[in-house]
Amino acid sequence: MVTCKQFLKELNDYLDPNTDPVMKTHLESHVSECMNCFVIVDTTRKTLQVYKGMEPQEIPEDVKARLWKALERKMVAEGTS
Amino acid sequence: MTPTSHSAVASDPNDEGTLVAQAQAGDGTAFAELVQRYQRKIYRLAKHITQNDEDAEDVLQDSFMKAYEHLKGFHGQSKFYTWIVRIAVNESLMKLRKRKGDRFVSLDEPIDTGEEEVKREIAVWEGNPEQQYSQEELQGILNEAVETLKPDFRTVFTLRDIEELSTEETAEALGISIPAVKSRLLRARLELREKLTRKFKRKGDNAFGYV
Ligand SMILES: [Zn+2]
């Protein structure tokens, strides 16, 4: 019998699509009986989803301008086109 | 890692490998295209790790400068993106250490994933945050949550779950063991889950209801 503590330790593996199916079935048996862990799995999945869905924001214009200026100087110094 | 199979380089001019080869041959425009492609991700990564605008700007500049300088030494055994991320991580960690003194050095110490600590907030979410908040509000909430993590945790989380590096690549970039990456990632995920749940949970009596 898997305890909540043991299950949480293996949560990453449970969420990983590449985990060995035998291991997964073993963990699944806990989630199907434990509401707490079921909720944790669900909200952890959602947490990862919102982070993965986040597009990187634009870099502030002045920061970008200074980056290009620095690169330009570098390229000129090194003699590339 | 094995000395990889070099698949035939596609002739697509926008292909990363083609751009890198051109840049290595001295084509500044090709390098500029690579910068263009990854600058926003590198800046985000630097901000997540350093939590400081000025440091993030330095990291952004220094990383691409270093990449440019060492381009000839890049042999394509990894992807250019992984390579530039690794440079940026090093630069970011250096900044962080400088600011925090020696408080942040214990990169490989084991972490206890205490059950009590992570099980405090158990409630379902109210709908889909992506639909309930504007893109900007949501960004703010997500960034704020990452900010509260300890540097060790937020660095691993940023590389694994935001930049989507593999466990092995993350371990290599940070110079820590694979088990250390795994335990930190677990801790970071559970902490973020809890923080976001406080924000997004269904309010009222029915907070625990899936049925
Ligand atoms: Zn449980």
Could you write out the DSSP letters of every residue in B124-164?
-B-S-HHHHS-HHHHHHHHHHHHHTS-HHHHHHHIIIIIS-
- Look at residue B196 and tell me if it is in a domain: yes
Give me the pLDDT at residue B194, please. 93
- Look at residue B46 and tell me if it is in a domain: yes
Q: What is the dihedral of CA B89, B157, B40, B134, to 10 degrees?
A: -160
CA angle at A70 for the pair A67 and A75, rounded to the nearest 5°? 120
**Radius of gyration, CA atoms only, chain B:** 20
- DSSP tally for chain B: helices H, then strands E: 10, 0
- Look at residue B110 and tell me if it is in a domain: no
- Look at residue B1 and tell me if it is in a domain: no
- Look at residue B173 and tell me if it is in a domain: yes
**What contacts B17, CB < 8 A, 6 or more positions away?**
B9, B10, B76, B80
- Whether B81 and B19 map to the same domain: the answer is yes
Tens digit of pLDDT for each residue in B128-159?
898 999 989 999 999 999 999 999 999 999 99
Contact B64 A53 (CB under 8 A): no
Read off the pTM: 0.84
Distance CA B148, CA B51 (A): 10
- Whether B64 and B142 map to the same domain: the answer is no
- Domain boundary at B59, B79, B100, which? B100
Domain count, chain B: 2
Give me the pLDDT at residue B68, please. 95
Residues of A with CB under 8 A from a CB of B: 4-5, 8-9, 11-12, 35-36, 38-40, 42-44, 46-48, 50-59, 63-64, 66-67, 70-71, 74-75, 78, 80-81
- The DSSP letter of residue B103 is G
Q: What is the separation of C-alpha B208 from the centre of its chain, rounded to a whole number of angstroms?
A: 32
Contact B26 A81 (CB under 8 A): yes
**Band of residue B13 on the pLDDT scale cut at 50, 70, 90:** low
The answer to whether B79 and B173 are in contact (CB under 8 A) is no
Report whether pLDDT(B78) > 80.
no
CATH number at residue B87: 1.10.1740.10
In the beta sheet, which residues pair with residue B125?
B201
Q: Which residues are placed with Cβ below 5 angstroms of ligand 1, an ion?
A: A 4, 34, 37
Distance CA B89, CA B174 (A): 7
Q: Residue B147: give the domain boundaries.
A: 129-200
- Look at residue B181 and tell me if it is in a domain: yes
Residue type present at position B71: L
In the beta sheet, which residues pair with residue B201?
B125
Q: Which of A17-26, B56-65, B160-169, B201-210 has the highest mean pLDDT?
A: B56-65
- Domain boundary at B51, B84, B100, which? B100
Contact B113 A8 (CB under 8 A): yes
Report whether pLDDT(B108) > 50.
no
- Look at residue B115 and tell me if it is in a domain: no
Q: Across the interface, which of B31, B35, B130 has its CB nearest the CB of A50?
A: B130
- Report in angstroms the alpha-carbon separations of B20 from A41, B6, B39, B71, B75: 41, 15, 15, 8, 10
B130 in reach of chain A (CB within 8 A):
yes
- Look at residue B114 and tell me if it is in a domain: no
Give me the pLDDT at residue B211, please. 37
CATH number at residue B169: 1.10.10.10
Contact A66 B40 (CB under 8 A): no
Spacing, Cα A36 to ligand 1 middle (Å): 6
- Whether B87 and B136 map to the same domain: the answer is no
Q: What is the dihedral of CA A58, A64, A67, A69, to 10 degrees?
A: 160
The answer to whether B71 and B176 are in contact (CB under 8 A) is no
Distance CA B60, CA A69 (A): 13
**Band of residue B204 on the pLDDT scale cut at 50, 70, 90:** low
Contact B193 A39 (CB under 8 A): no
The answer to whether B203 and B188 are in contact (CB under 8 A) is no
Q: What is the pLDDT along chain A (81 residues), one digit of tens a residue?
A: 789 989 999 999 999 888 889 989 989 999 999 999 999 999 999 999 999 988 888 999 999 999 999 999 988 887 655
- Whether B24 and B82 map to the same domain: the answer is yes
- Which residues on chain A are in Cβ contact (under 8 Å) with B120? none
- Whether B136 and B96 map to the same domain: the answer is no
Domain count, chain A: 1
What does the mean pLDDT of chain B come to?
84
- Whether B19 and B80 map to the same domain: the answer is yes
Q: Residue A31: give the domain boundaries.
A: 4-78
- Whether B96 and B133 map to the same domain: the answer is no
Contact B192 A47 (CB under 8 A): yes
Report whether pLDDT(B54) > 90.
yes
